[in-house]
Amino acid sequence: MTERPSARGNPGAAPQDDGDAAPGHAVSGRTAPPSSGGAFAAPGHAAPNHADPPPSTAPATPAAAAAPRWDAPCGRIIGWRDGPVDRATGIRYARAGRFERPTPVAASSAEIHATEPAPACPQPPMPFLDDVVGSNIGALPQDEDCLRVSVTVPANTPPDAGLPVMVWIHGGSYASGAGDAPFYDPRALVSEQRVVVVNVTYRLGLLGFLGDGADIPANLGLLDMIAALRWTRENIAAFGGDPANVTAFGQSAGGDAVAHLMIADGARGLFHRAVIQSAPFGLLAGRARMSELMATTASALARDASLDDIRSMQQRVAKAATRFGLKGQMPFGLQYGHAPLPPESELDRHWREAAPHVEILVGNTTREAALFTARIPPLLRRMNHPRKSRSVERILISPFTQRLYGRGARRFAQRHVRSGGTGARYEFSWGVGRSPIAAAHISELPLLFPGPAWERTPMVEGHTWADVLADGARLRRVWADFARGEPVTSDSRAGLRVFPPDTGRAA
């Protein structure tokens, strides 16, 4: 079910043909950008407000004939040129009915027109994030049929280039966001660092992370991610990516998902490195009773309920979880003891066993909690006061940052290395002293994914856009170096300190 924009604006859906097709390789070319909004829409191209057209059977225009195209095992893919990068957006990687596990799609006999952004999973507004960034999903459509990936490669990359592949798992408390949201545009990362980036869209909230494991499977969104990683392994060589050099990276809930993909059944070997950014390790333990209450609350929802009813119930379920304190601030999430995850009592053993197979870079920003304290007007006023800000820092920001993020990142890194794995820990502190929310939760994202969506947000307050681009280039290089298997080191301009996991000394 696809929805057109509301007052928030949610247009269009990604058209795609499915059928049977032969694999192979093809060369890149040029094309005009897509017509609908989202992370990858070019300026001046408004999102349509009409229903999705059926796949076109008209002869190709000259522009379409010259578009970048790739012959992959999934079928012939036609994308679009965006300056220094080529894009294939909104490619279906699996199908799933409501509350069903994802299943692979057959190769397409028709051309796959990958020129529209992936739709977002249906979700209620998230006022907190919308207040910070303007809109959590931009002008994307909302559609239950959202299991799509978008691939971005350096322009004219030949299929035998063997570039490192980076698979992005977005955050949003497992309840909001989208792979093609305008805040995750990998154009700069891809063009500067010559990597291939795959943005993944997966199911969220009630549709993806609240199954009871009996009538409705739990962890459907995590199963979606595994299906996307499988699609990447099977198809990315056609785009010039190296399927034997895949890095999964994600932030917040996305970082948490990446950490758990390391121990998920069916994910072993699908990626070789992991960047775990600001995972809320302090909220993960002892969630079973909360999940049971949420599932009981949602049990009154009909399986064929409208999307409006699903959004309404999702908000009701989230409200019921608030009695569980801090854990209730991220009510949706992974459930242990349900496929594809082990029981909670066995997590430590599974992460130890996984350590030799995945290299990690794990860390957090130094003032994660500042994003949340700034929501409270009296605290924000104190945060803007040179002297009074110190008490907020000491009593709230620093201790909650460590409790929810920093302590868990240190322990994760230490266990990993002591269990025979390789990796490092980092802290990100860019801009501290220039803004009350400098180095807060999500503050590294404007540097990793710079674009117009970030320019007027408080996350870059106190910096010129030239600063964001220049300092961000240094951070993007570190992330790409890690994906290439090269050593990563501290970079003060990028606000990055890298630590050997056991000692805590800066590298």
Active site residues: 252, 368, 441
Q: How are beta strands 75-78 and 112-113 bridged, if at all?
A: parallel
Decide if 221 contacts 8 (C-beta within 8 A): no
Could you tell me which of 419, 57, 107, 399 has the C-alpha nearest to residue 234?
A: 107
Q: How far apart are the C-alpha atoms of 348 and 341, rounded to whole Å?
A: 12
3-state secondary structure of 226: helix
Estimate to the nearest angstrom the gap between the alpha carbon of 103 and the chain centroid: 21
Angle at Cα 480 formed by Cα 479 and Cα 481, nearest 5°?
A: 90
Q: How far apart are the C-alpha atoms of 200 and 366, rounded to whole Å?
A: 27
Residues 329, 330, 336, 339, CA torsion sign: positive
Which two three-digit tokens encode residue 189?
Answer: 């990362």
Q: How far apart are the C-alpha atoms of 392 and 81, rounded to whole Å?
A: 48
Decide if 217 contacts 209 (C-beta within 8 A): no
Decide if 476 contacts 166 (C-beta within 8 A): no
How far lies 377's CA from each of 311, 372, 381, 383, in Å? 28, 11, 6, 10
The DSSP H or E segment spanning 381 is: helix 377-383
Please report, as a single letter, which amino acid is at residue 308: D
Rounded to 5, what percent of the chain is helix, strand, coil?
Answer: 35, 15, 50
DSSP 8-state code for residue 402: I
Which two three-digit tokens encode residue 368?
Answer: 């994660």
Q: How far apart are the C-alpha atoms of 417 and 352, rounded to whole Å?
A: 9
**Residue 456: other Cβ atoms inside 10 A:** 11
Q: How far apart are the C-alpha atoms of 433 and 179, rounded to whole Å?
A: 31
Helices then strands, counting H and E runs in the chain, come out as 16, 15
3-state SS record for 310-325: HHHHHHHHHHHHHHHH
Q: How far apart are the C-alpha atoms of 197 and 369, rounded to whole Å?
A: 29
**Residue 77: other Cβ atoms inside 10 A:** 26
3-state SS record for 307-362: HHHHHHHHHHHHHHHHHHHHHHHCCCCCCCCCCCCCCHHHHHHHHHHHHHHCEEEE
